[in-house]
Amino acid sequence: MALVVGGAVVRDGRVLAARRTWPAEHAGRWELPGGKVEAGETPDDALVRELQEELGVATTVVRWLDGAQQVAGGRHTLRAALVALADPTAEPTPVDHDELRWLTADQLDPAHPEAVDWLEPDRPFLPEVAAHLAH
């Protein structure tokens, strides 16, 4: 079973959401950018590598969020971390995703009119992200 790591990139009271383009059942839905931890990598190293590949920016892991979710029909486990941009003026650009959006804490509430359609496994992490943004 692989560990999948997702990064909640935080800047100026907002968190970055990324819209997937593949596979078909995930296309158009939103996630925390990231991917699978490779052999010999720590979760921190994997997350920094994936965010560099997918967003073109250097990041640092702030802290891991509580909990873990099963993804890919139970084949993998998803963990998520709060992440900061190494250079706050650097602008993430989507390499694998077709849209990026900076969301406020309010927009992480599923009832908000500007909420995005998160992949199900990401949803349990969002209240902790929102609480962090609110501080």
Ligand X SMILES: Nc1nc2c([nH]c(=O)n2[C@H]2C[C@H](O)[C@@H](COP(=O)(O)OP(=O)(O)OP(=O)(O)O)O2)c(=O)[nH]1
Binding site residues, ligand X, CB under 6 A: 4, 6, 31-32, 34-36, 71-72, 76, 78, 119, 121-122
Compute the least distance from the CB of residue 32 to ligand X, in Å.
4
Q: How far is the CB of 7 from ligand X (least distance, A)?
A: 8
Q: Which is nearer to ligand X, 27 or 89 (CB)?
A: 27
Residue nearest ligand X (C-beta atom): 35
Nearest to 74 by CA among 23, 2, 22: 2
Query: Cα angle vertex 92, ends 121, 114, to 5°?
Result: 50
How far apart, in whole angstroms, are the C-alpha atoms of residue 78 and residue 131? 20
In the complex with ligand X, the residue whose CB is nearer, 4 or 82, is 4
Residue whose CB is less far from ligand X, 92 or 121: 121
* CA nearest to 83, candidates 21, 34, 22: 34
Ramachandran angles phi, psi of 9, nearest 5°: -75, 120
* Nearest distance in Å: CB 90, ligand X: 20
